[in-house]
Amino acid sequence: MNILPLLITIAGSVFFACTYGQLHPDIPSRYRALPPLREQARILDAWKEERISRIPALLKKYDIDAWLMSMREHAEDPVWWSIKNATQFAAHRRTVLLFHTNTSYLAGRPNPLVWVDNTGQVWDDLRFILMQYQSKRIALNTDKNIAFGGGLHVGEWLELYEQLPYEWMKAVSEPMLAVEYIATRVSGQLGYYRLLQETVWAMIEEAFSERVIKPGATSTVDLEWWFREKIQAQNLSTWVHPRVSVITPESFPGWAGTDDIIREGDLLHVDFGVTAMGMNTDTQHMAYVLRTSEGETDAPNGLIEGIKKANRMQDLVLSQMKPGKTGNAVLQSSLKQMETESITGQIYCHPIGDYAHAPGAVMGKPISVSASLRIMTFLVGFTNLPEYVPVLGELPILPETWYSIELYAYHFVPERKETLRFRLEETVYWVDEQRGWDFVYGRQERLHLINWPPSDVHGSKLLVQS
């Protein structure tokens, strides 16, 4: 018997019991090994079977008799990546899937019915089954607004139109089938996801330290590529290239970091994500380079207070995120509370899971700030939109979905006479009605400190040779 999954589950449970309610862990994070690939495949296939078993109930929820997908290699439906076997890396030939509600005709048959075909025989089989099944409402992934519900390629739609009777092609577009299916996690994932998140923290703690950064020599681009190499060394995949920035009033969150030599007194930021076991992370932390040449041993108080303000924004968002509430409702009530507390900032939260920008309700908008601040409006998640986010903002918060709480707070730092953005991002999950949301691993509540030159074993500073 392979006891590794059991040990990991137990370890995850013990870790959870020890850290529930703890937000910034007091001890250094550790790199956590995931199971060997063969064991990962077994786990992933078990998760897939559990998830697929829920689809008939999901079809009934939306009054759908059958859910039909057709795709080819290199033109897969986004849903396919969440229903495939762990050892599949592409859809073969033409792959057709028919999920059904197990009525009398199809009771006891596989669900879904699957064809892998390059002869055209699939269409004869499918016509016969649908005729006998007498399904009234067939769902096709043809939604024009939600990508996860719009994965039927035009070429496949044309083929279906030619092969199936017209009355069956008057199909239903129900994007919530894909949204709910992909977004809903299974019970066994949390322990492994927590291990993955701790590894991300360990990576950030190492990167934002004197072990990696030498002020005056190391650049932000150097640090980005250090992350890439470290991700690969941990047998993880990169979801998005790390973006490392020196934070200034002019630096804006976006798709690239800055290109700077890191120096004493710099406020640093990283935004990156990794992928493993079909799960993705998306994390943003900040760090400060101590002015050790001036005897500085901690960050200026203004920077410390900026992190606290961003933490308060996280609290406000989580207090408003009630299951069933729309993303727009959460956004607007959070902004109202921010205004009450005189907090200025921007919220752009999103679901995360099988995809780092996963299906579900988004919460994001550009904010209004005083005219004295020079603001541009752009960002990762719908930050170019007004207070109302069309379509995705009107989706409901789903309790069995992970959410990335992504935001920044503006804070005036007296020591620098500057207003800066304090940018944080962590992932949360729903615990229960009583306890609400909790962070998967923790959240940053204090700046990572780079203390160069490093100390030797006797505590004295090592001299830097020119």
Q: Which helix (H) or strand (E) holds 55?
A: helix 55-61
The mean pLDDT value for 171-184 works out to: 93
The whole-chain average pLDDT of the chain stands at 86
Across 248-263, average pLDDT: 83
- According to CATH, the topology of domain 55-182 is Creatine Amidinohydrolase; Chain A, domain 1 (3.40.350)
Q: Enter the CATH code of domain 188-450.
A: 3.90.230.10
Q: Compute the distance between CA of residue 159 and CA of residue 171 in angstroms, rounded to an integer.
A: 14
Q: pLDDT by residue (tens digit) across 402-439?
A: 999 999 999 999 999 999 999 999 999 999 999 999 99
| Region of poorest pLDDT, from 127-131, 234-238, 443-447 | 127-131
Q: Is the pLDDT of residue 1 over 60?
A: no
Mean pLDDT of 88-107: 87
Using pLDDT thresholds of 50, 70 and 90, give the confidence band for residue 383.
very low
With H, G, I as helix, E, B as strand and everything else as coil, classify residue 346: strand
| Cβ atoms of residues 437 and 430 within 8 Å | yes
**Whether pLDDT at 293 is above 70:** yes
Concatenate the DSSP letters of all residues of 79-117 into one string: GGGGTS-TT--S--SEEEEEEE---TTTTTS-SSEEEEE
Tens digit of pLDDT for each residue in 14-25? 333 333 345 898
Say if residues 8 and 195 touch (Cβ distance below 8 Å): yes
Question: What pLDDT is stored for residue 306 in this prediction?
Answer: 98
Percent of the chain with pLDDT over 90: 73
pLDDT attached to residue 253: 59
Given a contact cutoff of 8 angstroms between Cβ atoms, the answer to whether 415 and 267 are in contact is no
Look at residue 74 and tell me whether its pLDDT is greater than 90.
yes
User: Using N-to-C axis directions, what is the helix angle for 37-52 and 4-19, rounded to 10°?
Assistant: 70
Q: Which of 128, 132, 66 is nearest to 105 (CA)?
A: 132
Q: Say what percent of the chain tops pLDDT 70.
A: 86
Domain ranges of the chain: 55-182, 188-450
Q: Report which listed range, 1-15, 244-258, 266-280, is most confident.
A: 266-280
Average pLDDT over residues 327-348: 93
Look at residue 443 and tell me whether its pLDDT is greater than 90: yes
pLDDT, tens only, 202-221: 999 999 999 999 999 999 99
Q: How far apart are the first and last CA of the chain?
A: 58
Residue 10 scores a pLDDT above 50: no
The helix (H) or strand (E) run that includes residue 69 is strand 66-72
pLDDT of residue 32: 96
- pLDDT (0 to 100) of residue 9: 40
**133 to each of 54, 168, 338, 355, 409, how far by Cα in Å?**
20, 12, 54, 34, 56
3-state secondary structure of 148: helix
Of 296 and 453, more confident: 296
The pLDDT tens digits of the residues spanning 384-403 come to 443 667 888 889 999 999 99
pLDDT tens digits, 351-381? 999 998 998 989 875 443 332 332 222 223 3
